[in-house]
Amino acid sequence: MKLTLRLFMVVLFAAGCLVHAAAQTSKPVGPPCSLHRQAGDWGFLATGKRAGVDNMATGTYHLNNDGTSSSHLFSNSGSAFLEFDRVGNTTITEDCIVTQTWDDGGPAAKCVVVDDGNEMWCIYEQPAFTQVTLKRIHTRN
């Protein structure tokens, strides 16, 4: 009886260790990057040049599950300070490449998703020479 109880306890302990190890090494289900995983609210900082003039901007960016996006920006280009909104469309590949286009015809951006989906690094196509870093307003663990 004592031997059976000890053997049962050893088997139960080993099974618990295996379940714990499997839970720690399991990967999220689905692709590492998708619209669904990246959807949410973001803050950003942009620096660069446009037509040879220093340009800086900050603001918020919202990405929906369907790929529609919107942004509220504060921009300083040279000596001009602007505040405006933009709307556009976003695509994300499974290998974490983002393409952002804007409905107003502004230059498109190409980005990569980093830090387990909590950050995006972007550059804009010509004529802008701008680097943008986006961070989740509410990071996920």
Alpha carbons 55 and 79: distance in angstroms, whole number: 9
Tokens linked to 132: 């943008």
* Four-CA torsion 100, 103, 107, 109, nearest 10 degrees: -10
Q: Which of 8-12, 28-32, 94-98 has the highest mean pLDDT?
A: 94-98
pLDDT in tens, 37-85: 999 999 999 999 878 889 999 999 999 999 999 999 999 988 899 999 9
Given the structure tokens 């663990």, which residue do they identify?
141
Residue range 12-31: average pLDDT?
50
Q: Where are the domains of the chain?
A: 35-136
Report which residue type is found at 9. M
Residue 94: count of CB within 10 angstroms of its CB: 10
| Percentage of the residues of the chain whose pLDDT score is greater than 70 | 77
pLDDT tens digits for 116-141? 999 999 998 877 788 999 999 987 65
Each residue's pLDDT tens digit, 10-21: 444 554 544 444
- CATH class, 35-136 region: mainly beta
